[in-house]
Structure 1
């Protein structure tokens, strides 16, 4: 089990501030995956050894070669027919936290990248407490640094140290980077992607590339307050943080409603 990793009252980093009370709350949480269960047909030759943590789910008729230890003799006494028990067991997840560290993530106060790092630290801590494997990768115009997936309390320190090195800069190539990430990974798991999705080329193809290679995808869309509800109205000049492109436009109520609809979609 992953022990508490803080010393003193707080766990302090440049981008993260967790107190013991908050860490204690995280201890009781768990990341839930739709693919976290694996069926073990315990009556078959390929079934594993009986052990703790197995959950009975169903019966099926006995077949030649099934392990007799999984025959339900009480059921046989009533029906005079052999049935074996089927069990399910939770698998440990492999959780990979993928962080957009492009220049646009530097906006906000606190910045979007700092908020993303706090989320990654919290999610990583939850997964490691539950004995899951945790890794992380950054990207902007290309894939950045990678923390290889591991489990255990030492990985908590590795993850927090990894997050300290994140610095939002460069342009975004969301789909290109996620395609490259999925191509490099030998084993799929749960991919948690944190990004503001501010890429003119879109993001859908990148997410589809992960799903097509067996990843369960969780997307966390991170925006600053002024991006959720712009306060500027009338004639404005918009400047792209990454390309420095300038666009002169008019923000009226109709434009604002269309923008809100795009965010919801």
Structure 2
């Protein structure tokens, strides 16, 4: 068996084309403010990807970089943008320096990344204002996989999320369970992790540990969605999944890069446009 390899860039383009039509109905173009703290080249590159998509869609994008500032100054800037009625969304690129508590300064109605405590609480309660873009991307890819592989009703499938306590995995488990799906959470400390992952019809990994998920951990014919990414000197960019070996037994698999990442960016823009409609 050789897996269907998901093309995240093509799928993102399909979604982007639909957004163009939605934007045409708006009385004015939305505005997104993006904040970068520090000088991480990886974070800046990822923000540039968001900026380029915003520009393609005709979304007003403001990029503010704080090279080495105190949290109070960043909170002050966020408060200015909270009060600005022309601004529809505010994002702070992660990771933040240690001790920077600025995310809850974002007005929840403008928190299109869904990182504030209030929005995460609403998400856990099944009453989301926004769904985190990466979580939404995984869910949309999962729906795509059901079409490609003719999986039938997802409620009949066992889903395992590895990294269930993380920033992506925790909200993802909440969204899947609130959708009525059977989900088991796991992490690197789970006893007999191999047996847990191998029992899953759908395996989602979001740990950020390169090539954690080996071939022997995957049920033959499973759908495998790789959310993690890690840079190593000897491996280069690696996802959570040992892609070359796992693709031999999975039915559907997402690569890294080019899988979940491009879809996450367009899901952020969907949240932004949704904030205008709401």
Instruction: Give the number of the structure with larger relative contact order, counting CA–CA contacts within 8 Å between residues 6 or more apart.
Output: 2
Specify which structure has the higher proportion of strand.
1
TM-score by length of 1: 0.31
TM-score by length of 2: 0.30
Bigger radius of gyration? 1
